Amino acid sequence: MDINLPLILMVAVVATGAIWLLDALLWAKSRRAAAENVEQQYAHLPSHERPGDPGYRVAMQKAAKEPLVVEYSKSFFPILAIVFVLRSFLIEPFKIPSESMVPTLEVGDFIAVNKYAYGIRLPVFRTKIIDLGDPVRGDVVVFFPPHEDRYFIKRLIGLPGDKIQIRDNVLYVNDVMLEQELVGADPVDRHGGACWGDYQIVNEAIDDKKHLVRKCPTGGRGWNDRTWTVPEGHYFMMGDNRDNSLDSRVWPDPFVPDKNIVGKAFAVWMHWNEGLPSFGRAGGIK
């Protein structure tokens, strides 16, 4: 299971904010009382002379000193709160860990995900509170699969009510074959998979969008000659590296519920897998 960073961040924000609030309401009073006591102890000195008195300075610093946990909480709370709001409601960064979305996304790509494209959701709980839009076919989506609690990224192929079919290694949506235009062979030696012949890069059209797909031209996969009907409130996901992707075709429960949607991936902003970071792949995601 991946580290639940949203939960950790929320706990950190709540904890530091609570400490700051408790200090303002309770603990600061005792420090003010101690400071007033020091003032009374040095009442024999004129007020303009007290700051120059070593005893007064030491006593006042001791009386007014915040506990370390309060000092750290006041310093970190604003930063943590800003990061929490940005990541939870606006844009969240992710790093691509696998080849399942090749050639669209490579291992080591750092992507930006729009968290409000499909509505505002409560962080951690994933409950939608404001409906701003719905996923559409062809979107590259970050989500939690139905069978485990870690982030996945795939392309949305089927909407609620859609009929998804694979026949002879050809993909159909609602009985319409998705057109594929050959771009060329994939010369890169990648991990996993077995293909009788060279892998191909094709330009696939879904509705009014086109995107690149890596596929084996021959059939024989276990998901060939199968049909799925997407239930209401769910989606069917597939990787662009079609023959090397664990997605809706092979999951025990093939459909991703709407509550598991995290956001829409819209840009690559950096690539860093080995060596130095680079920005040569920076740009929008098709």
Query: Active-site residue numbers?
Result: 100, 154
Q: How far apart are CA 211 and CA 209, in angstroms?
A: 7
Long-range pairs for 198-201: beta carbons < 8 A, 24 or more residues apart: 199/243, 201/103
The dihedral sign for the CA sequence 278, 205, 143, 118: positive
Sequence-separated (6 or more) residues with CB below 8 Å from residue 136: 156, 159, 207
DSSP secondary structure of the chain: ----HHHHHHHHHHHHHHHHHHIIIIIHHHHHHHHHHHHHHTTTS-TTTGGG-HHHHHHHHHHHPPPHHHHHHHHHHHHHHHHHHIIIIIEEEEE--SSTTTTTS-TTEEEEEESSTT-EE-TTT--EEE------TT-EEEE--TT-SS-EEEEEEE-TT-EEEEETTEEEETTEEPPEEEEEE--S--SS---SS--EEEEEEETTEEEEEEE-SS---TTSSEEEEPPTTEEEEE-SBTTS--STTTSSS-EEEGGGEEEEEEEEEEE-SSSS-B-TT-EE--
